[in-house]
Amino acid sequence: MGKPPQLSADQRSAALAKAKESRQIRSIAKSKIKSGELSISDIFTMAQSDPVIAKMRVAELLAALSGVGKIRANAIMERLNISPTRRIQGLGKHQLSALTDEFSPTTSRGKLIVLSGPGGVGKSTIAAYIRKHGTFWVSVSSTTRKPRTSEHHGIEYYFLSDEEFDGEIAKDHFLEWAHFAGARYGTPREPVERALASGKNVLLEIEIEGAKQVKVHSPEAILVFLEPPSWEELVSRLERRATDSPQRRAERLALAQEELASASFFDHRLINDEVQNVVQKLLSLTSAH
Ligand code: 5GP
């Protein structure tokens, strides 16, 4: 048997300092858990990138949760087959999700707001503002239209080929989808479901046919029809659109006229006078419903 490796004085004090720092980090984390500033799922997320948190003992973590204490922590660990010395990094996938479920406050489902209205009325400006300010969780649609110069895949849209879009329809991956001005647009179902289930209010910014489909499948959705301050205003907005060809612009105008007639189908009508005003009203609808 060889001798155990010896540490130099410098190595020893570096190791001690590191251990002290780790203890401090864990103790800060525990007090944030106690105060409710960090949830158990926050800690599990942090553990993925922070080795100090990953090495925290599960028993220590549970006992820090307010209202849990050592006895209940032990009982829960026994039930979930987690050994008393287990560290967060040693937890299996099922144990992680069982613990998260056990300690997550039951969140109420978020509200689904569908913002629709004639093309060119300014829906995308409202959606961009909401996305920037995080007022709601904003869905990213898929489309078969080509990206405009400033657009990026996964940000404004998922830009799909016709075949890819067909595949998504076949797999029933869309909450709704519709044709619009020579392209197809659809709302991916799964991310919306996930956001609603986790209690987030969700905004869909979509054209009218899609909005109607959402109402059929999800009657609890709040349908909002965005109106231009006036028809003249809408015409001039569409004419200012440099990205559209003259033919596309004419098509959009004709369609917008048809679309204005659909307003009665919607739960609410809002005039797009000023972005912040509209956002404020959308926000107040989530508490009114
Ligand atoms: P644009 O090509 O100008 O970005 O959008 C054209 C129209 O498609 C807009 O009226 C927009 O609201 C609508 N749209 C965007 N995403 C979706 C979607 O997922 N489903 C439906 N039905 N319409 C969408």
Domains and CATH numbers, the chain: 12-102 (1.10.8.50), 112-288 (3.40.50.300)
Query: Over the stretch 198-226, which tens digit does the pLDDT of each residue have?
Result: 888 999 999 999 999 999 989 899 999 99
User: What's the CA gap between 67 and 72, in Å, rounded?
Assistant: 9
**Which atom of ligand 1 is closest in space to residue 181's alpha carbon?**
6
Counting beta carbons within 10 angstroms of the beta carbon of residue 222, is it exposed (0 to 12), middle (13 to 18) or buried (19 or more)?
A: buried
Checking if the pLDDT of 106 tops 80, the result is: no
Position 2 pLDDT exceeds 60: no
Residue 282 confidence (pLDDT): 95
Using pLDDT thresholds of 50, 70 and 90, give the confidence band for residue 256.
confident
pTM of the model: 0.65
Of ligand 1's listed atoms, the one at least distance from the Cα of 145 is 2
Residue 105's pLDDT band, with cuts at 50, 70 and 90, is low
d(CA 18, CA 58): 21
Selected residue with higher pLDDT from 37 and 68: 37
pLDDT at 232 over 90: no
pLDDT, mean of residues 254-272: 89
Mean pLDDT of the chain: 89
How confident is the model at residue 54, as a pLDDT?
96
Q: Which residues line ligand 1 (CB under 6 A)?
A: 119, 123-124, 141, 145, 176, 178, 180, 185-187, 205-207, 210
Q: Whose CA is nearest to atom 7 of ligand 1?
A: 207
Alpha helices for 114-267 (secondary structure H) = 123-133, 162-170, 189-197, 208-217, 231-239, 246-260
d(CA 239, CA 249): 7
User: What average pLDDT does range 99-114 have in this prediction?
Assistant: 83
Q: Looking at the DSSP assignment, which residues form a beta bridge with residue 227?
A: 271
Q: Residue 159 pairs with which residues in a beta bridge?
A: 143
Residues 6+ positions from 131 with CB-CB distance below 8 Å: 138
Ligand 1 atom nearest residue 213's Cα: 22
Average pLDDT over residues 114-143: 92
Rounded CA separation 259/257 (Å):
5
Comparing CA positions, the residue from 289, 288, 277 lying closest to residue 135 is: 277
Q: What is the mean pLDDT of residues 118-131?
A: 90
Which is the closest atom of ligand 1 to the Cα of 119? 10
- Angle of helix 231-239 relative to helix 246-260, nearest 10 degrees, comes to 160
% pLDDT > 90, the chain: 55
Q: Report which protein residue has its CA nearest ligand 1's atom 12.
A: 206
How far apart, in whole angstroms, are the C-alpha atoms of residue 285 and residue 130? 15
Percent of the chain with pLDDT over 70: 97
Q: How far is the CA of 207 from the centre of ligand 1 (A)?
A: 5
Kind of pairing between the strands at 112-116 and 222-227: parallel
Going across the sheet that includes 141-143, the strands are: 157-159, 141-143, 183-188, 174-180
Nearest CA to ligand 1 atom 23: 206
Q: What is the pLDDT of residues 54-74, one digit of tens each?
A: 999 999 999 888 777 788 888
To test the ligand 1 pocket, which listed residue (165, 207, 240, 252) has its Cβ within 8 A of the most ligand atoms? Answer: 207
Q: Provide the token pair at 201.
A: 């209010």
Q: 202 has which bridge partners?
A: 112, 137
pLDDT in tens, 237-253: 878 876 778 888 888 78
Residue whose C-alpha is closest to residue 183's, from 121, 241, 244, 125: 244
